[in-house]
Amino acid sequence: MSGTTRTRPGPADPAEAKRCASWIVAVAATQDREAFAQLFAHFAPRVKAYMFRFGGNSENAEELAQEAMMQVWRKAHLFDPQKAAASTWIFTIARNLRIDRFRQRKHIEVDDSDPTLIIDDSPLADEIVDRDEHAVLVKSAMEELPADQKVVVELSFFEDLSHSEIAEQLDIPLGTVKSRLRLALTKLRGGLEGVS
């Protein structure tokens, strides 16, 4: 049976987020199956729920979640813990797979080996951000958002809805969607800057 169940807690502290990252690193380094099983247990049900909200059919969602996890195995050597937390990286894999399957095209991205890529050479840019700590901060900042703002952020990431469609679904004016989103982003950004 594959019904929707209530939120399972995600990583509550950087140590847990780091464990997720270390599993991906282990898969890349030694094709560690045990580490992959852990990743699978944590992320596959989340990716399935993500796909379900776009596809509306649990068979489809199951297949896409499996496909996404295959990509996690295949692309593990491209994971760079200094550039992204595990949850961030797996989110981008799920997002790109969704666009590939539902819209039959590739998500257009920056190519890190592009010779025209401009690198920030200011001293601040070299400061290493701990991506796992950052991911945990983002998550708790998001959990602390007022419910009406949180739902707008969630719908932005979890459904292929424009702002006016979100307005329709929540039965609120378009301007309200925009202002809630703006407030949420200001709050999220403020929360992050306060700490780093």
Partner 1 sequence: MNIKHHPTDQTLMDYASGKMSQAMELLVATHMTLCPKCREKVAEFEALGGAALETANVMSMDAHALDHVMAMIERETANENVVFREMPSTRRVAVGESITGSAIPSVPRPLANLLPDNVLSLEDIPWKSLAPGVKHYQLKSIESKGTVRLMKIAPGVSIPDHGHHGHEMTLLLKGSYIDEIGRFRAGDVADLGNDVDHQPIADTAEECICLIATDAPMKFNRLLPKLLQPFIGI
Q: Closer to partner 1 at the Cβ: 6 or 171?
A: 6
Question: Which residues does 161 contact at the CB level (< 8 Å), separation at least 6?
Answer: 155, 169
Q: How far is the CB of 160 from partner 1 (least distance, A)?
A: 6
Rg for the chain, CA atoms, rounded: 18
State which of positions 150-179 bind partner 1 (CB under 8 A).
Answer: 153-154, 156-158, 160-162, 178
Rounded distance between C-alpha atoms, residue 189 and residue 186, angstroms: 5
| Near partner 1 in 65-84, by CB under 8 A | 65-66, 69-70, 73-74, 77-78, 80, 83-84
Binding mask 106-145 for partner 1 (x = CB under 8 A): -xxxxxxxxxxxxxxx---x-----x--xx--xx-xxx--
Residue 30 touching partner 1 (CB under 8 A)? no
CB-based contacts of 102, cutoff 8 Å, min separation 6: 54, 55, 160
Residue 90 as a binder of partner 1 (CB under 8 A): the answer is yes
**54 close to 98: Cβ distance less than 8 angstroms:** yes
